[in-house]
Structure 1
Amino acid sequence: MIWAEISFFSKWWNDIDEQKRAMVKRLLKAGQLEMVTGGWVMSDEANSHYFAMLDQLMEGHQWLQRHLGVKPSAGWAVDPFGHSPSMTYLLKGAGLQNMVIQRVHYAIKKHFAQQHTLEFLWRQSWDSSSHNDITCHMMPFYSYDVAHTCGPNPSVCCQFDFQRLPGRRLSCPWRIAPQPITEENVRERALLLLDQYRQKSRLFRSSVLLAPLGDDFRYTESSEWDVQFNNYQKLFDYFDQHPELHIKARFGTLSDYFQALHRRLNATGTKLPTVRGDFFTYADRDDHYWSGYFTSRPFYKRLDRSLESLLRASEILFSLTLADMRRFRGDDHPADTFPAQELFAHITSGRRNLGLFQHHDGITGTSRDPVVLDYGTRLFHSILNLRQVLQDSAHWLLLMDKKKYLHDSSKAFLLMATQDALPLKMPLLLSDKPRTLVIFNPTEQFRTSVISVVIDSPDAAVVEAETGRAVDSQVSAVWVEPSRASTEAFQLDFVAELPPLSLVIYHVTEASVGSSFRAQYTFLHHSKTQAVPGPALPEGAAAVGSGPPAAGPVSVVRNQSQPGKERRLSVPAQPGGGPALLFTRTSSGSGLQRSGLLRHHHPLPARHAQSELYHLDGPAGRSLEISNLVDIRSEVNNELAMRLLTDVANGNRFYTDLNGFQMQQRRTLPKLPLQANVYPMTSAALLQDSASRLTLLSAQSQGVASLKPGELEVMLDRRLQQDDNRGLGQGVTDNKLTASLYRLLVEDRRGGAQSGGGASVEHLSLLAHLSSLSLSHPPITMVATGDEQLPKLRPFQPLRSSLPCDVHLLNLRTLEDEQVETPSVEAALLLHRKGFDCG
């Protein structure tokens, strides 16, 4: 027997007595039970970011080590809808040597079967050595149930699923029922099964065969164990009694299979082929490509990444707080009143809720409505709890006199600013007395960022608390409706200089009337396009203008550091692209805001989507920030996409990232239907030619395509009334008002790509990596309460300098003590050195 997902196993473990726990350990030691993969869930491999994939793997492995003392050696991923080499890299790094996959395009399975390459060494596209290779077994047939695992004929194989015997709760859809194995029919039944085994074995290079006996929601009652074991044992006994059949069959675990496989391969000197790349987009039959789930329920995909960012920030700040407390006290204990165990429980819950959502029916958006609501509730509660972790950790770190630390749960020291939450924005109340803002930079890089907060006054002043230096700021409108600004709330934007992993303090006060720099607005109507006066742009910044209405809004992206270099980018005003996608823009006019800090461009009014383009000084000014606010709740059977039109001559090739970990080349094939040319984008997609590269960085997972040269289509949302007959049993109609966030980067190219198994291997540039990092992990703003009674604070800066540009601090993860849900004195430091493009 094998078991894969620890989230469900741990719930069962918590409810059983010590006698049953001892029995489980005996079965594990005897090799009758094996824990495979060992992740918190069987993770999706298209939408999940590698941070979350690794985090749920660590959570599961640490649970296994702590409770059972075992370490998985084989992976089992039979239900994710396509497979990514990023996951294989993480599995190999976690100590696994072998793995099984199932959901691969039926034509690829056919090709691999013809070439006898269904078992192969899976190698990373960028890897020149075999160090990270993992042995992979690809199941050859339609499904992983018993009817599709013994051989090529499901009507025959189903007869050997004895849970479907007449009178039991299941039956065979091919209307040929299984028969109990008796002395009278054992020969006929054994030869029928053997024929299927032999036909399947001809697809592989080894005579060792894997035939799993299981399916969804099986072995829930003891009678199924008995009926399967007893009937199969009679067949196995018959095989043993007739050596002329040349078969030896027995029950085993997944590791038993791979051990036998490797013994046979070594004995015969057979070498497995090497395969690079991924297995997207999956199709199970005909033109039924499973690309819709790359975008389904985008609200929750965005919420997932928000929780992921908050969990990472909380982990790092909590670990730094515990370390600082131990240094201050001179022992291994936190401050007496610091709620370390309570906060660590919040972190553990956050890890597990994030991990649970990585399930291949979670982040994919392929669960039924009540399950989706449960996921959303878990994610939201974890966000609230992790905010508490950040606030309490920052409380200690900011205090100048640590002896005055006192935790009082009834009196919050800091509150998270929630201005970015949808849809409510609460204004910060100002007066002539300073309000204290604490900004946490969760990244390992020094950054200059524009901090935005909503205030109740049209005039405000910002100073850096430590130096008293006045900070550049501006006040912008908060739009209640697309054409009406609020008179009670205003957006304050100011530039903050944030050292790596620092907590920096700013004071905000109400200023005299008319003293603040205010954003200037000019309304541009399609019939009256006009120039917009404003300050000159700084060197290296991106310039954005508006073009003629017939072509839709046109942006000329110009690199000021190289005069004469510019790229054209536009968003078409008309729907197009075919029946599977709806490209919609319904604005009748647009507003352009221009100022020294940032610029917005947004259509007015916009029933479906609003876009904003920001101009920022410094490195952040090398990219354009685009935000969409999508609402298709009134639509019927429509899918909304954002199309970018450029003059990049990329041909039919483009690139998307795999889980935020690496880039994968894609080719648009006109002979295939539109849905076959849609691929997953976790955090980046790019078009390039010999002279330039256009990179779209994303803060959430979505489907992406390049249907024509120079085009990039991003799927924003979809609303479908009907079921797709793939197990969900309903349409997807629980759409919400959803925000999506991007950065667009244009770069010159000077070098070529390296080759990797016939496809070029590309990486993001260092600038793109840093832009993606700041997009995914924005600064976190906290507001001090009770400013009059605040003790003296000082900024917290744990690093003297930034880490190297290609080194990412993935996490600083406090480990659990032997006592459950208690933090230990150890923390796991996870660093990722990123591959980058030098051209």
Structure 2
Amino acid sequence: MMFHIFLLCLLCTALGAPPTDDLRSPRDTTKCGYTSCHKTDPEKLNVHLVPHSHDDVGWKRTVDQYYFGNNEKDHMGIRGVEDIINSVVQSLNEDPNRRFIQVETAFFARWWETQTDEIKTMVKELVNNGQLEMVSGGWSMNDEAATNYQSIIDQMTPRVGWQIDPFGHTNAMATVLAELGFDGLFFWRLDYRDSEARQTDRRTEFVWRGNSDLGSKSDIFTSLLYENYNAPLYFCWDIQCGDEPIIDDKSSTEYNVKRKVDQFHKRIAAQAKNYQTNNILITMGGDFTYQAAEMYYVNIDRLIKGFQEFHPEINMIYSTPSCYLNAVRESAERNGITFPLETNDFMPYATSRHTYWTGYYSSRPNSKRFERQGNNLLQVAKHLVAFENAKNKSFEGDVIELKKIMGVMQHHDAITGTEKQHVTDDYVRMLTNAMQEAQKSIHTMIFDLLKYAVDDESVGATLNSCLLSNVTRCAESGEQRFTVAVYNPHGHTVSHFVRVPVVSTKYSVAGLHGGKIPFQISPVIDTFSKVPGTQSLYELTFKATDIPPLGVNYFYITKEDSTVNEPNLIEPSDKTVLGTESTGIEIDSTTGLLKSVTLNGVNQVVSQQFLYYQSSNASGGTRSSGAYVFRPSAGTEALIISDKTEFVTYQGEIFDEVHQKFNDWLKQSIRVYKNENYIEFDWIVGPLSYVNKLGIEVITRYITDLDNEATFYTDSNGRQLIKRVRNHRPTYEYTNEEPISGNYYPVTSRIVIKDKMKKIDMAILNDRSQGGSSLTDGQVELMIHRRLMNDDEFGVEEVLNEREYGEGVIVRGQHYLFSGFMSSLPDNVRLLTLESFAPNKLLLRLEHPFSKDDDEILGKPVIVDLKDLLTLYTIKSVSETTLGSNQLKSDNVRLQFPIKGNEKATGKELTKEEDETLKVTLNPMEIRTFILDVEARQLTRITGSANIHLPHTLLTLLFIAICVFH
């Protein structure tokens, strides 16, 4: 994330220089990067001890409680991360041989802001001489299942990935780290069978190619930790550990150096068998360790001395992940060692035969949706801040807190839903406050964009976002007249359907320059009666057409006198065929359930069911469903909630829809917009009640007669589709003890099945992360809500039983059904990021969102001319950087690791021809990042289309409707 709160010029560029020989020399701040690494011995086994502390940015405690050490009862006497960093810095300063890695930037930045200049100078020296290494560089150690790649990119910077605790690992994450310029990636959590097979076959280290379209540019060297990320058993010397210290006083009856060294040597010998080079990495630390850093370091010092005395054939050194990577590379080149090439991901994660961590894909669904809203607002706000820079106005301070909390929300115990309830509440508090702060000046920026004064009565002076519009609460829409501002964050002209809760049935809608806008008013599907605030009984829908690229348009909504005209409320209909000949649905007249779907003029049998799994309990030593784990009761199938609904259909000029009521806690509307090519499913689930004293996990299932041959596809963090084969894993022998949860995968944006014979693809797009699968050919299911009775005993120590207003929470969400969608989407460039970078400089990311396999036309390279890209700016020059924008692409020299039977990784940078013409080429699945040197243009009014010709993709919906009231 672009904070620049503290200096991170902490890894020097002299990466290829030889390491130092003298381990006991005084601190030398001229040595940095790989030159600061302790020397390895080519003739010995080199044991790299990596001191670290894994500090969750919220889990059992809130972020503040973990930082300051409050709520001590929840975590084994742990005080706070503030104490950990203080303690580590002092201990590192005592001895230049010692090393430490700092991971969670959210905590470190907070600590840094309160330090004296003297301490800051000391820390810079510690970093520059290699004692303190910043790894990953993320505000948090992000989850990899439920996160979107855009949010991952936003929060990352340094050179080594340290993903030791997320619950499975994705191709997109590997690709992002490679494109950020990282040298390597370390992780631990993967399926227990996969881990065992890799340990046996010495495939614990490999080159991971995250994206076949990008080829070797997406390669990253990957190393699996041996057992876990904790110190070896009996070798933790922190406050909460209680392990026997190493006593090196030979005159003492407690002297134990040789015994402890021999004990540690057994662990080393076992680990070394599973790695190819003469280097192994051992983590020395764990959750919230190094509160008493000096105690820990003194024992490690004695351990190293003990090996020098009793096992001189072992070269044991303090190290860091970067130093280990460099040593592995040198050893491989020296000894002709090559590493296998991997192309698969590491999802789902299982720790035993009956324990699949596939429940967290869907846990706390409201939090997952709220995080998406936060990201939408952040991207919009960054655009607007960048525009204001053209007028020499700075609003950067408004978005700082939102950038921070969005980084925190990516944490593997935040967006995952695997934290305690009071921590969830705190995340919501922080995100709400940050979103409100970001909105504080958006109205000013938008009015500037339209060249209106803030106090112009025709527009108004205040702006609010209706964050509760999904529960029919938008107090300002009850006013006599209000204005809706619709901003288009894409690089292409787009139209969008706007839905606003309203309190009446008689309105008029006008455009910015006059003229009536067609609209419909429909009854809301639910009034959410327990939610406080102004309750709306209706919903007004209109189409905001042709919003210009990175542009905004206003729509005026006026409540009319009841005597003036007829109500605009659409009336119930007895029709069961809704939509048009090209796009429509058919409802079964007896059951009220979906019967068929027409898309692209082709009718396809599609039905839909809502079902639930009864969760297992923990009796008899078995595992129960919990925040992490999904495990239905043994031998059960999903049960249908209702095979018949109460339903009513509505028809209008803009859309047709059906309202379905399955029972008191399950409702849905299915909407068909005229002249569009998708079907919208808007469901409301909850409050859930336990069934037979067991937890309940609700799914929706889409059923067709397509033959997908046990194969389906899920996205990887919103990017490429990954092939999944039922009851199969490509890298190890899969056993099918859990046929349901073992076939669940994370779905962050879409799940697809394909019938090769019929040449039909069916895709379901979702509005948040969910677990999903195709358990039977022709079917797709997604889990939409969970309420459980047991803890799965993986540390959170709390049942996933969210409550609100005295009962279980209600969840509302949307699915979008597309058929044959890949061939119908328009062109192949997406504006991924636009934000201010420095005075007269902008950060721009362009993305090719399609794979070579998606479409013959869309899957081809595309050329983008940057010259006239931005209306407000003239682009004077362009520099290409790594994905994280922290290093010029031409300066990024990554470590190269030899691959078995394959080429080395290569990188792409801005060519001279591209630089001179400002035309850049995007290859399939490629993201390119540029720093634009710009000059503000002199313009009088911006209401028409900006000169941005970036084509369109429906794979991400980044619109935000902003209401302006007076």
Q: Which amino acid aligns with 1:220?
A: Q
Aligned to 1:249: 316
Deviation at 1:399, TM superposition (A): 2.7
Show the 5 A alignment for 1:104-123. Answer: 104-123=190-209
Change (3 A) 1:481 1:43: closer
- Tell me by how many angstroms 1:438 deviates: 2.6
Distance 1:531 1:542, change over 3 A: closer
1:747-826 to structure 2, matched below 5 A, reads 747=820, 765=822, 767=824, 805-815=827-837, 824-826=839-841
Once residues 120 and 206 of structure 1 are traced to their aligned partners in structure 2, the CA distance between those partners, rounded to angstroms, is: 12
CA distance in 1, matches of 2:501, 2:142: 38
For residues 544 and 312 of structure 1, do their structure 2 counterparts lie closer, same or farther at Cα, with a shift above 3 Å needed? Answer: farther
CA contact (8 A) 1:82 1:279 kept: yes
The alignment status of 1:144 with 2:229, answered yes or no, reads: yes
Equivalent residue letter for 2:673 = L
Q: What is the aligned partner in structure 2 of residue 521 from structure 1?
A: 572
What displacement does 1:6 show? 0.7
Structure 1 residues 389 and 271 mapped into 2: Cα distance closer, same or farther (>3 Å)?
A: farther
Cα deviations by residue, 1:725-763 (Å, 9 ceiling, x for unpaired) = 11101111124222111110112xxxxxxxxxxxxxxxx
Amino acid across the alignment from 1:492? L
- Alpha carbons of 1:281 and 1:358: their partners in 2 closer, same or farther (altered >3 Å)? same
Q: Could you say which residue in structure 1 is the equivalent of 2:797? A: 729
| In the alignment, structure 1 residue 191 sits paired with structure 2 residue 262 | yes
User: In 2, are the aligned partners of 1:119 and 1:138 still within 8 Å (CA)?
Assistant: yes
Deviation (angstroms), 1:554:
2.7
SS of structure 2 residue aligned to 1:360: coil
Give the deviation of 1:185 after TM superposition: 4.1
Aligned position for 2:399: 347
For residue 614 of structure 1, what is the aligned residue in structure 2? 671
Distance 1:308 1:573, change over 3 A: closer
State the distance in 1 between where 2:536 and 2:279 align.
73
Q: Is the 8 A contact 2:600 2:677 kept in 1?
A: no
Counting only pairs closer than 5 Å after superposition, residues 326-337 of structure 1 correspond to structure 2 as 333-334=392-393
From 431, 435, 442, the equivalent of 1:379 is 431
TM-score (norm 2): 0.69
State the partner residue of 2:598: 558
Q: Which residue of 2 aligns with 1:360?
A: 412
Give the superposition deviation at 1:110: 1.1
Note if 1:638 corresponds to 2:696. Answer: yes
- Corresponding residue of 1:838: 855
Offset of residue 160 of structure 1? 2.9
One-letter identity of the residue aligned with 1:159: Y
Distance in 2 (CA, whole Å) between partners of 1:195 and 1:493 is 69
8 Å CA contact 1:418–1:426 kept in 2: the answer is no
Q: 1:547 to 1:704 in 2, by over 3 A?
A: farther
**In the alignment, is the contact (CA less than 8 A) between 1:159 and 1:179 conserved in 2?**
no
Residue 319 of structure 1: SS of its match in structure 2? helix
1:398 maps to: 450
Deviation at 1:269, TM superposition (A): 1.1
> What's the Cα RMSD here?
2.8
1:258-297 CA distance string (max 9 Å, x none):
1111110000011111101210111123321111111111
1:574-621 deviations in Å (ceiling 9; x for gaps): 657953775553564112112121122222364333222211133xx2
Matching of residues 5-20 of structure 1 within 5 Å: 5-20=104-119
Distance 1:321 1:617, change over 3 A: farther
Q: How big is the shift at 1:101?
A: 0.6
> Could you tell me whether the CA contact under 8 Å between 1:159 and 1:178 is conserved in 2?
no
- Give the TM-score taking structure 1 as reference length: 0.79
Cα distance per residue 1:329-375 (max 9 Å; x no partner)? xxxx22xxxxx3xx422211101101101101111111112211110
AA of the residue aligned to 2:796 = L
| 1:396 partner SS | helix
What residue ranges of structure 2 are gaps of 5+ in the alignment? 1-99, 615-631, 728-734, 804-808, 857-966
Code of the residue aligned with 1:392 in structure 2: it is T
1:671 partner letter? N
Conservation of the 8 A alpha-carbon contact between 1:40 and 1:356: yes
Q: Distance in 2 between matches of 1:487 and 1:719?
A: 27
Distance in 1 (CA, whole Å) between partners of 2:125 and 2:566 is 76
Helix, strand or coil at the partner of 1:713: strand
Is 1:271 the counterpart of 2:320? The answer is no
Identical residues among aligned pairs (%): 25
Cα pair 2:246 2:299 within 8 Å, conserved: no
> Mapping of 1:286-297 within 5 angstroms?
286-297=353-364
CA distance in 1, matches of 2:344, 2:176: 15
Q: Which runs of 5+ in 1 are unaligned?
A: 62-71, 148-157, 326-332, 335-339, 523-529, 748-763, 771-804, 818-823
Match in the other structure for 1:671: 736
Report what 2:781 is aligned to: 713
Distance 2:327 2:611 in 1: 60
Identify the residue that residue 439 of structure 1 maps to in structure 2.
486
- The AA in structure 1 aligned to 2:273 is R
Deviation at 1:85, TM superposition (A): 1.9
Q: Structure 2: how far apart are the matches of 1:250 and 1:602? A: 67
1:470 and 2:516 matched: yes
Displacement after TM superposition at 1:307 (Å) = 0.8
1:473–1:454 distance in 2 versus 1, CA, 3 Å? same
Check the 8 A contact 2:523/2:538 in 1, yes or no: yes
Distance 1:28 1:476, change over 3 A: same
Secondary structure in 2 matching 1:566: strand
Distance 1:581 1:23 in 2: 61
Q: Cα distance 1:479–1:730, how it changes in 2: closer, same or farther (>3 A)? A: closer
The equivalent residue for 2:678 is 623
The 1-side partners of 2:527 and 2:477 are apart by: 21
Alignment equivalent of 2:655, drawn from 575, 598, 602: 598
Find the aligned partners of 2:318 and 2:399 in 1 and give their Cα distance: 41
Distance 1:479 1:362, change over 3 A: closer
Q: Is the 8 A contact 1:429 1:455 kept in 2?
A: yes
The residue aligned with 2:718 is 660
Deviation at residue 692 of structure 1 after TM alignment:
0.8
- Given the superposition, is the C-alpha separation of residues 575 and 356 from structure 1 closer, same or farther in structure 2, using an over 3 Å criterion? closer
**Counterpart residue number, 1:52:** 151
Instruction: Report the counterpart of residue 348 of structure 2 in structure 1.
Output: 281
1:608 touches 1:631 (CA, 8 Å); kept in 2? yes
Quote how far apart the aligned CAs of 1:53 are. 0.7
Confirm or deny that 1:496 pairs with 2:496. no
- Report the Cα distance in structure 1 between the residues aligned to 2:146 and 2:656, rounded to whole angstroms: 31
Deviations 1:620-661 (A, max 9, x none): x21001111121354351111111111111121111111101
Q: 1:451 aligns with which of 473, 498, 505?
A: 498
Counterpart of 2:847 in structure 1: which amino acid?
H
Q: 1:741 to 1:487 in 2, by over 3 A?
A: closer
The alpha-carbon distance between structure 1 residues 113 and 127, as it changes in their structure 2 partners (threshold 3 A), is farther
CA contact (8 A) 1:464 1:505 kept: yes
| CA distance in 2 between partners of 1:53 and 1:22 (Å) | 30
- Write the letter of the residue equivalent to 1:495: K
Aligned residues: 704
Structure 1 residue 514, shift from structure 2 partner: 4.0
Name the stretch that deviates more: 716-725 or 631-640.
631-640
SS, match of residue 544 in structure 2: strand
Distance 1:24 1:271 in 2: 38
Q: Is the 8 A contact 2:149 2:717 kept in 1?
A: yes
Provide the rounded CA distance (Å) in 2 between the counterparts of 1:625 and 1:202.
55
In structure 2, the residue matched to 1:785 is none
1:369 and 2:421 matched: yes
* Aligned-pair CA distance for 1:394: 0.7
- Correspondence for 2:25: none
In the TM superposition, residue 182 of structure 1 has moved relative to its aligned partner by 5.2
Deviations 1:775-834 (A, max 9, x none): xxxxxxxxxxxxxxxxxxxxxxxxxxxxxx21111121223x5xxxxxx43221111111
Deviation, 1:80, is 0.5
Give 1:223 shift: 4.0
